[in-house]
Amino acid sequence: MLEISRKIILRVIPALVSVLFLFSPSPSGSAEPVYDVLIKGGKIFDGTLRPPFTADIAVTDDRIAAIGKIKGKAKKIIQAKGLIVVPGFIDIHEHSDGIFGEDFPKMAPEIQEEYKINANAVFQGVTTVVTGNCGQSPFDTRKWLATVDEMHFGTNVAHLVPHGKIRSDLFGSNQPEKLAPDQLDRMKARVKEGMGNGAYGLSSGLAYAPGRISSPEEMIELCKIVRQYGGIYATHMRDESGAIREDGKVTLLESIREAVEVARKSGVSLQISHLKLQAPHTITGADILSVIESARSEGLNVTADSYPYTSGYSEMIIILPNRFKSPSGGIHPKYRNAEGREEIRKYIEQIFEDIPPEKIIIMSHPANKKYQGKTLKEIAWMEGKAPGECYVEQAMLDPVPTAVVFAHNEQAMIDFMPNHYVFTCSDGMAWSRKMEGAHPRFYGAFSTKLKTYAINRKIMSLQDAIRSMTYLPAEKLGLDDRGRLSEGAFADIAVINLKTLKTNATYRDPARYSGGVYCLLVNGVMTIEKGKLTGNRGGRALRKN
């Protein structure tokens, strides 16, 4: 009994001290509290299903101190009348860790600074990103989170253990399709290490090397480790297209069923990454959602994320079936002879019926910079070759060029949006306006969903769109003090002017910041003030307890 009382006292005393300090008389004798920031009179969407309401929000240090009709002084006052106030957005599928590898120190200082602030994200209202996605990352969990803290990154960062990275580290270019028991134990140990270092789950890239040769049984065993830590399993599924297999089954639906089976047998919480219907479009969004809803009706925790664009951004061979791809990356050696190249050419010419050559834009081409920004049709014309022949030539390169591919069904994308189990993501990364190769979703995913699909097209309500960016992903990850505006929560807050909310990024000019974010606080740090960067960075590495 004495021990319980002692614990209560130890918890209560710091809170009492904070309150006494907050309400201590100012030098002028006033008993009014003094806050760091006071946001006055905004229309608050708190991230939940609670209807929006008008109130003030006070911030002290890194937390929300009060919400309501607030009397008190503040070091900085934001007049938010006519604006909306929302929790900072959470991008549950992002790749900023890919920027800060071994080449980063070689970049010019001004480019480094733009990357560090994650400016393209914060101008959309994003305050937290989840990295390590698609099974890929140049870092292990401990090193990456330490890097985030050391450079004072512009947004908070939660990380996922990348399955493909672990497999590559352990087995190099000699990737085993079926892991021996001792090999699986080594994989488990690495996953356990990552989770112990604060990761929020495990990610896989089953459409990429080396993930594409991994079996469902391998993923089940690894996800059992993740479940023990309360983490999620985020998967870039094996195939995201409507292609019909020889057995008559649709590859995308079977990929979802495989992911669900991993969740069912491991007990892990499943996150389907960047949900889409890639060409050929043989099914509908409703067909896809029905598989997810069936799993949810069993009681499985199955959710997804999606970005509001009809094009992807990846290595250009992403649209080829896995049989053409090597376990270690690129085109499989058995298809590098004349017969194999011809088979790929015939296949891709069939794909051109759904994805014509003018809908494939090369974004990064290390072997030939003049191709960057050109469509496959333009490149074929430049070289005097047929588009199919030109595609095969580019696909055989090492590294494979990256491309924007307009392969996604728009109606399916729209069908996904209103569902509360589909969150918003960018599938982007921190970027510099001085660098080539960005996809417009890096700069406009969140603003596009709000402005185009919620406000203009009314595909979903503004409140539901905000919820898909805040409370719902926070709940999925277990971020108890983020994703909603409530007293005691971390002060990740966006003040947005809906009248000036705008996506400025285009495919031809993607590196343009979105408009509309009037002020942005990250852990109470004013990152954007009156629509301009302050130069202050408040992000933190988030570690799962």
| Domain co-membership, 376 together with 296 | no
| Domain co-membership, 222 together with 169 | yes
Does residue 377 form part of some domain?
A: yes
On the 0-12 / 13-18 / 19+ scale of CB atoms within 10 A, 534 is: middle
H or E element at residue 153: none
Q: What is the pLDDT, as a whole number, of residue 173? A: 87
Q: Which residue has the tokens 């672990």?
A: 166
Does residue 208 form part of some domain?
A: yes
| Domain co-membership, 379 together with 478 | no
Residue 359 to residues 14, 248, 280, 373, Cα–Cα distance (Å): 60, 28, 14, 12
Does residue 173 form part of some domain?
A: yes
CB-CB contact of 507 with 529 (8 Å) = no
Q: What is the pLDDT, as a whole number, of residue 338? A: 93
| Domain co-membership, 456 together with 528 | yes
| Domain co-membership, 400 together with 415 | no
The span from the CA of 86 to the CA of 62, in Å, is 16
| Domain co-membership, 401 together with 415 | no
| Domain co-membership, 131 together with 162 | yes
For residue 138, the domain's CATH number is 3.20.20.140
Does residue 52 form part of some domain?
A: no
Does residue 294 form part of some domain?
A: yes
From first to last of its 545 residues, the chain has per-residue pLDDT tens of 434 444 444 444 444 434 444 444 444 445 688 999 999 999 999 999 999 999 999 999 999 999 999 998 999 999 999 999 999 999 999 999 999 988 899 999 999 999 999 999 999 999 999 999 999 999 999 999 999 999 999 999 999 999 999 999 999 988 999 999 999 999 999 999 999 999 999 999 999 999 999 999 999 999 999 999 999 999 999 999 999 999 999 999 999 999 999 999 999 999 999 999 999 999 999 999 999 999 999 999 999 999 999 998 888 998 888 889 987 789 999 999 999 999 999 999 998 988 999 999 998 888 888 898 899 999 999 999 999 999 999 999 988 999 999 999 999 999 999 999 999 999 999 999 998 888 999 999 999 999 999 999 999 999 999 999 999 999 999 999 999 999 999 999 999 999 999 999 998 899 999 999 999 999 999 999 999 999 999 999 999 98
- Residue ranges making up the domain that contains 186: 89-310+408-533
Residue 80 to residues 42, 451, 454, 493, Cα–Cα distance (Å): 4, 19, 21, 12
Q: What is the pLDDT, as a whole number, of residue 436? A: 82
Does residue 544 form part of some domain?
A: no
If we measure between CA atoms, which residue out of 75, 59, 76, 78 comes closest to residue 67?
Answer: 59
- Among the candidates 385, 405, 425, a domain finishes at 405
Q: What is the pLDDT, as a whole number, of residue 515? A: 98
Query: CA geometry: angle at 295 spanning 290 and 301, to 5°?
Result: 125
| Domain co-membership, 252 together with 389 | no
Does residue 493 form part of some domain?
A: yes
Q: What is the pLDDT, as a whole number, of residue 412? A: 98
Helix (H, G, I), strand (E, B) or coil at 528: strand
- Among the candidates 377, 405, 433, a domain finishes at 405
Does residue 270 form part of some domain?
A: yes
Q: What is the DSSP string of 63-125?
A: EEEEEES---EEEEEEE-TTSEEEEPEEESSB-GGGTSSTTGGGS-HHHHHHHHHTHHHHTTT
Q: What is the pLDDT, as a whole number, of residue 5? A: 44
The span from the CA of 62 to the CA of 528, in Å, is 16
Q: What value does the CA radius of gyration of the chain take, rounded to a whole number of Å?
A: 24
- Among the candidates 344, 376, 405, a domain finishes at 405
Three-state SS letters, 413-435: HHHHCCCCCEEECCCECCCCCCC
| Domain co-membership, 423 together with 277 | yes
| Domain co-membership, 195 together with 303 | yes
| Domain co-membership, 290 together with 398 | no
| Domain co-membership, 148 together with 281 | yes
Total domain count, the chain: 2
> Reduced to 3 DSSP states, what percent helix, strand and coil does the chain have, rounded to the nearest 5?
40, 20, 40
